[in-house]
């Protein structure tokens, strides 16, 4: 099974294709390409991970969105139901919203509770305010592992959602991962195109603390490959550098 490629706009110049092709060939020789993926299935989707309006975009502390204040061209709210509580009327990119509804329906049907949408799409300006709030609450060092700076947040893409099962407690807490609902999400979200983006013991790669509630939509095909191959971060999947720190943090550390 390959990773489907949906290019929404624009094209890629041949020099970039050649550069990526060469790098992925090197990665394959070093065993860095997921073994169930062919090179073609891996190379062409990888060309889209720099594009903010693509479903496979990778955003982290080293990879800002371009433009930095990017806003998705289309967003939709998930309807509340017995399986999904979106009483805050939060929105996601249409593909992610549809997948979340399906996942919530299945989770509820299997008896694991009603999923609650704690956070979904965030604007650039909202993320600025949120990071400032976290800094006041935890100090800069604490904020840096708990929240992204504006322009570096997955929530700004419309492809990330924070969920909980209020009846089981532990909303937006690491203990969510130990609830029956949290365990179901971790074990089954890939079936609907989601991954738990910030897993345990991946802070040195992602730059963020464990967040069992934070799901990132990448589509069913990529999520299947991700799960099948036991991969824990998008950085590893695409053979990208670890993104534990922002570039300015590294510079400041060297100066100190």
Q: Give 71-112 pLDDT, tens digit per residue.
A: 999 999 999 999 999 999 999 999 999 999 999 999 999 999
Query: Residue 213: which of 145, 146, 153, 162 has the closest Cα?
Result: 162
Rounded distance between C-alpha atoms, residue 28 and residue 128, angstroms = 39
Query: Sheet holding 84-85: strands in order across?
Result: 84-85, 115-119, 160-164, 211-217, 194-198
Per-residue pLDDT at 13 exceeds 50: no
Kindly list the catalytic residues: 211
Q: What is the pTM of this model?
A: 0.84
Low-confidence winner among 20-34, 82-96, 116-130 (lowest mean pLDDT): 20-34
pLDDT of residue 32: 54
Measure CA of the first residue to CA of the last residue in the chain; give whole Å. 49
Q: Which domains does the chain have, with CATH numbers?
A: 14-255 (3.30.1380.10)
Task: Look at 188 and 18; give whichever has higher pLDDT.
Answer: 188
Q: Give 184-243 pLDDT, tens digit per residue.
A: 999 999 999 999 999 999 999 999 999 999 999 999 999 999 999 999 999 999 999 999
Burial of 189 (0-12, 13-18, 19+ CB in 10 A): buried
Q: Which two tokens stand for residue 61?
A: 């502390």
The pLDDT of 115-144, averaged and rounded, is 98
Q: Which two tokens stand for residue 133?
A: 């709030």
Low-confidence winner among 2-11, 25-34, 146-155 (lowest mean pLDDT): 2-11
Residue 248 binned pLDDT confidence (cut-offs 50, 70, 90): confident
């Amino acid at each position: 099974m390959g990773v489907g490629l949906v290019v929404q706009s624009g094209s890629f110049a041949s020099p970039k294709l050649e550069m990526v092709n060469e790098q992925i060939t090197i990665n394959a020789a070093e065993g860095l390409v997921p073994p169930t993926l062919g090179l073609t299935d891996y190379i062409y989707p990888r060309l889209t991970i720099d594009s903010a309006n693509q479903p496979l975009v990778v955003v982290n502390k080293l990879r800002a969105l371009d433009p930095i204040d990017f806003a998705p061209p289309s967003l939709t709210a998930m309807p509340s139901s017995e399986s999904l509580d979106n009483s805050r009327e939060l929105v996601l990119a249409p593909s992610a919203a549809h997948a979340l509804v399906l996942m919530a329906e299945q989770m509820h049907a299997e008896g694991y509770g009603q999923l609650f949408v704690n956070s979904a799409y965030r604007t650039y300006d909202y993320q600025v305010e949120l990071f400032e709030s976290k800094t006041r609450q935890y100090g800069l060092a604490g904020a840096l592992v708990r929240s992204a700076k504006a322009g570096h947040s997955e929530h700004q893409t419309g492809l990330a959602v924070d969920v909980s099962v209020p009846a089981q407690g532990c909303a937006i807490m690491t203990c969510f991962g130990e609830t029956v609902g949290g365990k179901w999400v971790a074990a089954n979200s890939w079936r609907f195109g989601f991954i738990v983006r910030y897993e345990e013991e991946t802070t040195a790669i992602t730059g963020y603390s464990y967040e069992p509630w934070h799901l990132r939509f990448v589509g069913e095909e990529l999520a299947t490959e991700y799960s099948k191959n036991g991969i824990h971060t998008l950085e590893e999947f695409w053979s990208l550098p670890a993104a534990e720190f922002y570039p300015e943090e590294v510079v400041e550390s060297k100066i100190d």
